[in-house]
Amino acid sequence: MRATLETRALQAQSANQAFLETFSLILQDDLDRRRSRLIERRYQQSGLDEKLTLAEFDWGFNPKLPKQACFELHTLKFIAQADNALLIGPPGTGKSDVCKAIAYNAILQGYRVVYLDTDEWLTELVLSAAAARKTRLRPVIDAGLVVLDDLFLSKRLPEGGAELLQSLIHQRYKLRRSLVRWRTYVRLHTSMPLGEVCPRGWCRQR
């Protein structure tokens, strides 16, 4: 509030503003500042390494991208409906950037987001002591949205990793929390199209 107080006072004097109008502007400045700080804090805690948006996305580099499906996910309705999204495709098709844009938009809309390098996270979790493992799992379970980067990229999960992953998904399912997952597989026999806008099973919502 102090940061804009002098400016608002000068504005009030020059425009002969009413006290309530000036006071309202000062309060709004403070609310905006608090919201910006909250968004930045949640971004720093999320694990995202860049602030991507679909507005800046280069759709021309891969014309086969299911553009409408991406925008549908970007509305975040799937979070409110406690649905999950699964993006499947070979490397370099845009999965990572789309997921990061969805995750960052979720932060802007007030959700707590956790973005994980799945294989690395599972390995560290397996090697953790039981008490530390529970502490590390809690924020992932409670987050409004979890993004699992390159799920099953490795040929084998670390011993005990499959059980931990199953536990995470099960607990989030009970809480009706959403997941975005993507896999870097060329083989797409497990995929299902989202309407007719997801060619080659690039996106699946369930």
Residues 97 and 10 placed together within one structural domain of the fold: no
- By residue range, what is the domain housing residue 22? 2-45
pLDDT at 206: 54
pLDDT at 1: 61
Residues 171 and 188 placed together within one structural domain of the fold: yes
Q: List average pLDDT for each run of 10 residues in the chain, which is 206 residues long.
A: 73 81 81 89 95 91 88 93 85 87 95 91 88 90 90 72 86 82 44 34 51
Residues 33 and 77 placed together within one structural domain of the fold: no
Residues 122 and 198 placed together within one structural domain of the fold: yes
> For 140-187, how does the pLDDT look when each residue is reduced to its tens digit (9 = 90+)?
999 999 998 877 666 677 788 888 888 888 888 888 888 777 654 433
pLDDT at 37: 92
Residues 34 and 17 placed together within one structural domain of the fold: yes
Query: What DSSP string describes the chain?
Result: -HHHHHHHHHHHHHHT--HHHHHHHHHHHHHHHHHHHHHHHHHHHHT-SS---GGG--GGG-TTS-HHHHHHHHTTHHHHTT--EEEE--TTSSHHHHHHHHHHHHHHTT--EEEEEHHHHHHHHHHS-HHHHHHHHHHHHH-SEEEEETTT-SSSPPTTHHHHHHHHHHHHHHTT-EEEEEE--S--TT---STTS-GGG-EEE-
pLDDT at 145: 94
**What is the number of structural domains in the chain?**
2
pLDDT at 183: 55
CATH number assigned to the domain comprising residue 177 = 3.40.50.300
Residues 61 and 39 placed together within one structural domain of the fold: no
pLDDT at 196: 31
Residues 35 and 79 placed together within one structural domain of the fold: no
pLDDT at 191: 35
Residues 61 and 154 placed together within one structural domain of the fold: yes
